[in-house]
Amino acid sequence: MTKSDDKRVPALRFKGFTDEWEQRKLGEVSTFINGRAYKQSELLNSGKYKVLRVGNFYTNDSWYYSNLELADKYYIKKGDLVYTWSATFGPHIWDGEKVIYHYHIWKIKLSKYLDKNFTLQILEADKAKLLSNTNGSTMIHVTKNNMENKVISIPNIKEQKKIGECLMKFDSLIELQQRKATLLKQLKSTLLD
């Protein structure tokens, strides 16, 4: 982002976009909604809704269930933008069925000023920056207040959509290459056996 004559304009842009980028606090253009804390008696081995916990994003394939009927804000649906903030942290776009979510997860409601894919990329870049500023023994603490007060630069919604789509294509290519590398390593290991 270059700043010339007090105008916020990136050095590299998609053709056709010339507007200034606006600086806003993340909490002004989005809402972070805490999940719900559960009593052990509310977590069941089977039930109407799965209870999404941080581990379900990373390492844990086992689920708790609940039969509770809650306010709409306590459910995550396919396509919702969420953020895990405890121990392992980061943004995700939920790709599963409707679930109830645990309090170590925020559901992020975006205003009309933010595109979901663009926001996901902003949050991923912020996560990378947080991780690069710590050493291996430091536990990173992400608070709702800190997230809401982060100042981000945002273009108009059309430019956000272009940026978000472009970067999501890169993410897909990276994921494909990582899968390929994993398969090649498995093949090599098999051949060595």
Q: Is 7 exposed, middle or buried (0-12, 13-18, 19+ CB in 10 A)?
A: exposed
Contact 121, 167 (CB under 8 A): yes
Q: Quote the mean pLDDT of the chain.
A: 89
Whole-prediction pTM: 0.83
What dihedral do alpha carbons 16, 109, 151, 3 form, nearest 10°? 0
User: How does residue 136 score in pLDDT terms, banded at 50, 70 and 90?
Assistant: low
Contact 84, 34 (CB under 8 A): no
Average pLDDT in the 18-44 region?
A: 93
Res 5: pLDDT: 47
Average pLDDT in the 11-30 region?
A: 91
Res 75: pLDDT: 97
The crossing angle, in degrees rounded to 10, of helices 116-132 and 157-192 is 60
pLDDT tens figures, 73-91: 999 999 999 999 987 889 9
